[in-house]
Structure 1
Amino acid sequence: MKVVAINGSPRKGGNTELLLKTALEPLAQAGWETELVRIGGKNIHGCRACFKCWETKDNRCIFGKDVFNDAFAKVLGADAVILGSPTYFADVTAEMKAFMDRAGFVAMANGCVLAGKIGAAVVAVRRGGATHVFDTMNHLFQISQMVLPGSTYWNMGYGLEPGKVEGDVEGLRNMTQLGKAIDWLGKAIKNAPPYPVQMSREG
């Protein structure tokens, strides 16, 4: 089984990355193939509402000169997806929002291709606003008919300077439990019948 973590932070080696890696550790130990993809700080634009993906239906955005299609292809090839973002004015980064809008639209255009996959959100925060960031990412999972695992608390870690979340013992413990929950859920889904996809716009 495979899990891909999409990092929306422009900081390489920052707190969001540390949290995501902590969540991935128990999955790697359980035999999952893990991959961490950073889109933060890279060229990615928002959805232009051109509806071309509803015409082509090839699991791609017609605007292919940024990092979106490569990152989305990795999501399509995974059983579980973890989205990670730092807190920017009580919301996700611009890069993460751009990825989410296009991922959600392309997925719907192609028959709700994210349905039945596991989705989890992880947030790095200095002090406040993380719950809204967490909700924003979960909204994509829920409208895409994905399955969300729980953990011991909201999936957030506290720290401003790179590496500071390593001092958040509870936050790291929550990430570890999140990884274990994804492993348990993934194994349960693997033995389940196909997800009953329901189209919202057509069919």
Structure 2
Amino acid sequence: MHEFSWDKEAEDTLSKILNIWPAIIRKSWKEKISNSARLIAYDEKSPKITGDILYRGAVNALPKSYEPLLLRIKSPEEFARKKESQEKLSEKEWLIEIKRWDRPDGENGPKIIKKPSEQNVLAIMTSPRIGGNTDILMEKFLDGVRSKGAKVEKFNLQKMNISGCLGCMKCTEVDLPEICVLKDGMSEVYRKFIEADSVVLGFPVYTGRECALTAAFFDRMHPLRAPIHFPKISTLKRGALIGTWGWPSNDSYNHIIEFQVMLLKLFNVITSEIITACGFWGEYYKKGIIERDQKGLEETFRAGASFVTPL
């Protein structure tokens, strides 16, 4: 690729961004950001890489969850203002936003054959905050499901005795009735998962990734991927995801949501509905505050109703 000169602002900006990480991984990110900036400069026919081009290159190269850190580098004042806005509630600048993701035209997920009244929907809530905003959002979605007559069974994993995966791999060797050698709450989850027509997963983003119970759930789901058990889930299921996070940007953690979509696909669950909500930070972290977004909750209800309705 054509070599570009760099102005001082670009070099200073890159240095500030690289200081986000420990030195041992800076080289990798330097290459990604620099290559992204070169592509922008080439596309815009710029003779050099400027500070603005470098910054946009970083935005393109980094996961969207780096938005707060990049904003603090680009505009400390704007970062401070945005952070301060979350320390007190304001009707003029309401930060919580519920978003129903766009669905592709045509068939979206496995075709619904059964009537809603004949469908079994399994809901898995992995948030440790029972009655919290993630839980409320899922319940509104499930209200929509129930409104069509579908049967719903919901597991709050926080209330259940579920151990972490031991990595013993016995699940690949022996066809145990309980699926896993650990005889705990997951035994019932396995059974209901196998029987379900659809699966709804709800979780919050903590520390830049899915919460611990979500990770534990997928670890413990591994037995169903074993050849001796996988035929039990050979029929495709429809899936829905409910996710929440703190930073007030409605796409900051889309990559985390998308990764859970791919994990569900490992178990033949094809996600057809995604509902996310952002802005739960500071004063906006209070339990139940999501209920003030009635418009978003109404759309969530409609999503739940359509989730079990044949096209």
Q: Superposition RMSD on alpha carbons, in Å?
A: 2.2
Q: Report the number of matched residues.
A: 181
- Structure 2 CA distance, aligned partners of 1:174 and 1:114? 31
Partners of 2:123 and 2:155 within 8 A in 1: yes
The question of 1:135 aligning with 2:255 is answered no
The question of 1:22 aligning with 2:22 is answered no
Partners of 1:85 and 1:124 within 8 A in 2: yes
Match of 1:149 among 252, 261, 272: 272
Tell me the alpha carbon deviations over residues 39-85 of structure 1, each in whole angstroms, 9 at most, x when there is no partner.
03644233222221122234621111x32222222222211111111
Match of 1:60 among 162, 167, 179: 179
The question of 1:4 aligning with 2:122 is answered yes
2:208 is paired with a residue of what secondary structure?
Answer: coil
- Look up the match of 1:201: none
2:134 is paired with a residue of what secondary structure?
Answer: helix
CA deviation after TM superposition for structure 1 residue 101, in Å: 1.9
- Structure 2 CA distance, aligned partners of 1:111 and 1:68? 16
* One-letter amino acid of the counterpart of residue 111, structure 1: F
Partners of 2:198 and 2:269 within 8 A in 1: no
- Return the TM-score normalized by structure 1: 0.78
- Return the TM-score normalized by structure 2: 0.53
- Structure 1 CA distance, aligned partners of 2:215 and 2:159? 13
CA deviation after TM superposition for structure 1 residue 93, in Å: 1.5
Unaligned runs of 5+ in 2: 1-118
Partners of 2:163 and 2:182 within 8 A in 1: no
Higher helix share: 2
- Structure 2 CA distance, aligned partners of 1:112 and 1:86? 31
Identity of aligned residues (%): 27
CA, structure 1 residues 15+179, in 2 after alignment: closer, same or farther (shift >3 Å)? same
* One-letter amino acid of the counterpart of residue 263, structure 2: L
* One-letter amino acid of the counterpart of residue 162, structure 1: K
Partners of 1:3 and 1:33 within 8 A in 2: yes
* One-letter amino acid of the counterpart of residue 46, structure 1: G
CA, structure 1 residues 170+60, in 2 after alignment: closer, same or farther (shift >3 Å)? farther
1:156 is paired with a residue of what secondary structure?
Answer: strand
Partners of 2:199 and 2:269 within 8 A in 1: no
- Look up the match of 1:194: none
Unaligned runs of 5+ in 1: 189-203
- Structure 2 CA distance, aligned partners of 1:24 and 1:157? 16
Tell me the alpha carbon deviations over residues 134-159 of structure 1, each in whole angstroms, 9 at most, x when there is no partner.
22321222222322213xxx511233
CA, structure 1 residues 17+161, in 2 after alignment: closer, same or farther (shift >3 Å)? same
Q: Max radius of gyration: which structure?
A: 2
Match of 2:220 among 94, 102, 106: 102
1:47 is paired with a residue of what secondary structure?
Answer: coil
1:45 is paired with a residue of what secondary structure?
Answer: coil
